[in-house]
Structure 1
Amino acid sequence: MGINSKHLATFILGAAAGVAAHKYLQTEEGEKLLEDLKTKANNLKTDAEGAIDKAPEYFEDLKSKGAETLKSSFPDAEAFFKDLYDKFVGGKGTAANVEVTPTPDPIS
């Protein structure tokens, strides 16, 4: 893979943009921009740490509200899932006792 004029032009433009950004950040306005970015980054970090601390409580609340909603909207859901679980695990019959109908070969 050789270096062609497009690659060289891209490199030169990138380097020029880097130099321009460095020059801008050395000005008073650029330093203010950096301070604003640092402040916003610290605020985001604090918010993220707070969210991590609240996450277990939030998901526990979500789980309990979801279960309550499911029980109130679909009162037979718990029995349905228990029967389904028992069918596959072995409460009323094991998976080995389930009769499987073979699929016929397709006609070519």
Structure 2
Amino acid sequence: MSINAKHLATFILGAAAGVAAHKYLQSEEGEKLLEDLKTKASDLKAEAEGAVDKAPEYFQELKTKGSEAIKSNFPDAEKFLKDLIDKFTGAGATGTTSTENGDVAAVTPSAQ
């Protein structure tokens, strides 16, 4: 692999930018910039940790409200999905389904 003038120029410009950034960050203004960046980074970290702590509660609320919305707007959706799952799994006449709180309950067919 040969080094041509374009690669050499790119390396020199990158090194010059690095030296300039180092000189700037050593100045009073550069140190102030670094302190501001550290403060903002710690604020973002705290905000992210707070979001992670709230995530399970948020998703539980989303699950509950979504379930309620589907049940109120599409009352036959649960039966439709159960029939669809039974069709693909081959459960046919009997099977299991999840209840609202996550428990598994036996499902028996209704008389038709």
User: Into which bin does the TM-score normalised by the smaller protein fall?
Assistant: 0.7 to 0.9
Which residue of 2 is the match for residue 43 of structure 1?
A: 43
| Correspondence 1:63 to 2:63 | yes
Q: Distance in 1 between matches of 2:53 and 2:41?
A: 19
**Structure 1 residue aligned with 2:52:** 52
**Counterpart for residue 96 of structure 1:** none
Whose helix proportion is higher, 1 or 2? 1
Q: Structure 1 length as normaliser, TM-score?
A: 0.82
Structure 1: gaps (5+ residues): 94-108
RMSD: 1.1
Q: 2:14 aligns to what?
A: 14
Relative contact order higher in (CA < 8 Å, ≥ 6 apart): 2
Percent of aligned positions with the same letter in both sequences? 76
TM-score computed with the length of structure 2 as normaliser: 0.79
| Structure 2 stretches lacking a partner, 5+ long | 94-112
CA positional deviation for 1:5: 0.4
SS state at 1:23 partner = helix
